[in-house]
Amino acid sequence: MNLHTKQDFEALMHRMLDPLLPLYSPGCARMTPGGAGATYDERTIGMEGFSRPLWVLAPYWMGGGDPEPFAEIYRKGLAHGSDPDDAEYWGDTGDYDQCFVEMAAIACAILEVPQIVWYPLSETARLNLAHWLSGINQHFIPHCNWLFFRVLVNLALDSVGMEADLALAEKDLQEMDSWYTGGGWYTDGPAAEKPQKDYYVPWALEYYGVLYSVFAEKRDPDRAEVFRQRAMEFGRSFAYWFDENGAALPYGRSLTYRFGQCAFYSACVWAGLEPLPLPVMKGIIVRNLQWWMEQPIFDRDGVLTVGYCYPSLYMAERYNAPGSPYWGMKTFLLLALPGEHPFWSAQAAPLPADIAAPGLYPHYDSGLLLQRLPDGQLNAYAPAVVEKSGHGQFAEKYAKFCYNTRFGFSASRSYVQLEQASPDSMLAFVLPGEDGGWVFVRRHSLSFELLEDRMISEWAPLPGIQVKTELIPCEGGHLRRHTVESEIVCEAFDCGFAVPKFAPGFGSSSAEHAAEAHNSALACRVESSSGGAGTVVETWPNTSLYSPNTVIPAVKYEIPVGTIQLETLVTSSANSVR
């Protein structure tokens, strides 16, 4: 797919949005692209579907794009959805309301193109919309990136002369500033409660900070400059998360937002910031979008699905509704740029040599140890430091030993059977049970240490077992050294990456102390120097984020009562840009 000119990006936008046109409700206040549920009701699911395309439509209109047919749809929807006497009213909001998330897209549209989404509304419709938006000031919202939604809403209300609570917005900004940890990085809330570093930094906190630096440049110049400086520092660091083939690191939650992974760089280009040279940022954006367009992420009607590289609900969070993937449209903020902007004529450049070169990169600000292999793979060794009452499957999304841009990772269907648990890149302890045994893995670390050449963590998969794990990168992969202190007799499987089967060239094998699986594009091998038996785990379908069918090479160890040392070498290779 060619992606160079503004017209190319506009064509891609239409490819994604035009299939939605038949899906809007009669009053246009709701758009529901599918039938799956979330933690909020159907009315809110429809409202989310309505709001999220605004992340691209408003910039498109701002950059001179043809307003119709979507502008009339959105003016109509804004009027109907905010009218308490209308059948399509979005509803009175309450504490923790999902509608607060969706208000941010409307707020940005008001800030960017009030001449299209605000002033054409009747006076009554404007008052209704302002009253509905102000609900975010009346209720409790989670102390995470949601605070930025309230900031944006109040900026928008104030920009069109409506009553706003700028004092509350100031309080929110001060609290978010307390989450800043350095190097451009934040935690998504108080670090003691939410210590993990993930994509909510680039596609939420840093992204909205860049927007604020433009929207509030005159009102709050000092803070705007702080956000811009942090973005400059962050942008250099974040480039390490991208593969030369365009893939971004599959790590953490909310991955169904997919190409939102590169939205931060779009915001930088829009705001005139260059943490990296403009051609390099264009290269990251273009390759990431192209990589995603090669994946089967649309349904037969061209509508985005919930999932990652293909439709799947197993990896989804409880807040992923059918319209949720359109949050990734934030990447298209670029369309606000005028046609003569140098971004459109710049050639997409590769990653800088010092970022793309094979080697180890301790990423202290995010807590990851990154490793680039000569064949282009990007490994990220993770600390498993996460909030303990998360949004589901946090062990899979944050606590695997290594995350890889070519293999992805797996999300379990259950912990009742090894094949259902699909514990790729984990040391999985299996206790006997009638249904095939109960599976226990690292869910979070009790402590961790990131050194220049290794990652060390201490963890407990269940009461009665303590583990100290050293992850030591080496040529072609990494060595795992586990010290296991157990009060339980059980088995443990030290698992490699999940390798797609039913693929050209697929094969697998196991031996006394080793196992491997390969296809024409990828291969993974695990080998023990401390005993153990090689085995190949036949995972259940649709557990891997990258491929519907996989196997996992592993070494099975017998765990006695007492202390045992395990050592497993995990190597992988990639023969394609997948």
Q: Residue 478: how many CB atoms within 10 A of its CB?
A: 24
In a domain? residue 330? yes
Are 300 and 441 within one domain?
no
pLDDT (average), residues 248-253: 98
Q: What pLDDT, on the 0 to 100 scale, is given for residue 388? A: 81
Q: What pLDDT, on the 0 to 100 scale, is given for residue 464? A: 97
Are 347 and 403 within one domain?
no
- Asked if pLDDT for residue 83 goes beyond 90, the answer is yes
Q: What pLDDT, on the 0 to 100 scale, is given for residue 321? A: 94
Burial zone of 280 (CB within 10 Å; 0-12 exposed, 13-18 middle, 19+ buried) = buried
Which two structure tokens, joined as six digits, stand for 511?
A: 């031996």
Band of residue 278 on the pLDDT scale cut at 50, 70, 90: very high
Q: Residue 310: how many CB atoms within 10 A of its CB?
A: 15
Q: What pLDDT, on the 0 to 100 scale, is given for residue 39? A: 87
Are 340 and 418 within one domain?
no
- Asked if pLDDT for residue 577 goes beyond 90, the answer is no
- Asked if pLDDT for residue 578 goes beyond 50, the answer is no
Kindly list the distances between the CA atom of residue 65 and the CA atoms of 60, 113, 328, in Å, as whole numbers in the listed order: 5, 11, 19
Write out pLDDT tens, residues 445-489: 999 999 999 999 999 999 999 999 999 999 999 999 999 999 999
Which residues are paired to 360 by β-bridges?
Answer: 371
Which two structure tokens, joined as six digits, stand for 350?
A: 């590769």
Are 204 and 161 within one domain?
yes
258: left (phi over 0), alpha (psi -120 to 50) or beta: left
In a domain? residue 285? yes
- Asked if pLDDT for residue 162 goes beyond 80, the answer is yes
Annotate 348-414 with three-state secondary structure. Answer: CCCCCHHHHCCEEEEECCCCEEEEECCCCCEEEECCCCCCCCCCCCHHHHHCCCEEECCCCCECCCC
**Domain end call among 331, 356, 381:** 356
Are 372 and 245 within one domain?
no
Terminal Cα distance for the chain, rounded: 15
Are 428 and 339 within one domain?
no
- Distance of alpha carbon 513 from its chain centroid, rounded? 36
pLDDT (average), residues 295-299: 98
Higher pLDDT, 124 or 575: 124
Write out pLDDT tens, residues 186-203: 999 999 999 999 999 999
Band of residue 576 on the pLDDT scale cut at 50, 70, 90: low
- Which letter does DSSP use for residue 257 in this model? G
For 108, the enclosing helix (H) or strand (E) is: helix 99-112
Average pLDDT, the chain: 96
- Which letter does DSSP use for residue 20 in this model? G
Are 440 and 326 within one domain?
no
Q: Specify the CATH number for the domain of residue 482.
A: 2.70.98.70
Torsion of the alpha carbons at 418, 420, 423 and 427, rounded to the nearest 10: -20
**Domain end call among 315, 337, 356:** 356
In a domain? residue 364? yes
Are 346 and 387 within one domain?
no
CB contact at 8 A, 149 and 143: no
Write out pLDDT tens, residues 323-372: 999 999 999 999 999 999 999 999 999 999 999 999 999 999 999 999 99
Which of 32, 52, 101, 109 shows the shortest CA–CA distance to 75? Answer: 109
Are 425 and 346 within one domain?
no
Q: How many domains does the chain have?
A: 2
Are 292 and 365 within one domain?
no
CB contact at 8 A, 406 and 578: yes
Single-letter code of the amino acid located at 176: M
Strand, coil or helix: 123: helix
Q: Which domain holds residue 225?
A: 6-356
Band of residue 571 on the pLDDT scale cut at 50, 70, 90: very high
In percent, the amount of the chain with pLDDT more than 70 equals: 99
In a domain? residue 324? yes
**Domain end call among 356, 384, 408:** 356
Which two structure tokens, joined as six digits, stand for 124?
A: 């009554």
Are 458 and 535 within one domain?
yes
Q: Specify the CATH number for the domain of residue 122.
A: 1.50.10.20
Annotate 135-148 with three-state secondary structure. Answer: HHHCCCCCCCCHHH
pTM of the model: 0.97
CB contact at 8 A, 540 and 549: no
359: Cβ–Cβ under 8 A, 6 or more apart, which residues? 371, 372
Write out pLDDT tens, residues 495-542: 999 999 999 999 999 999 999 999 999 999 999 999 999 999 999 999
CB contact at 8 A, 530 and 508: no
- Asked if pLDDT for residue 310 goes beyond 90, the answer is yes
Q: Residue 511: how many CB atoms within 10 A of its CB?
A: 11
In a domain? residue 1? no
Are 257 and 160 within one domain?
yes
For every residue of 319-354, DSSP letters joined together read T--TTGGGGGGGGGGGGGS-TTSHHHHS--PPPPHH
pLDDT (average), residues 427-446: 91
Write out pLDDT tens, residues 15-65: 999 999 999 999 999 999 988 888 899 999 999 999 999 999 999 999 999
For 566, the enclosing helix (H) or strand (E) is: strand 562-574
In a domain? residue 41? yes
How far apart (Å, rounded) are the C-alpha atoms in residues 55 and 102?
Answer: 10
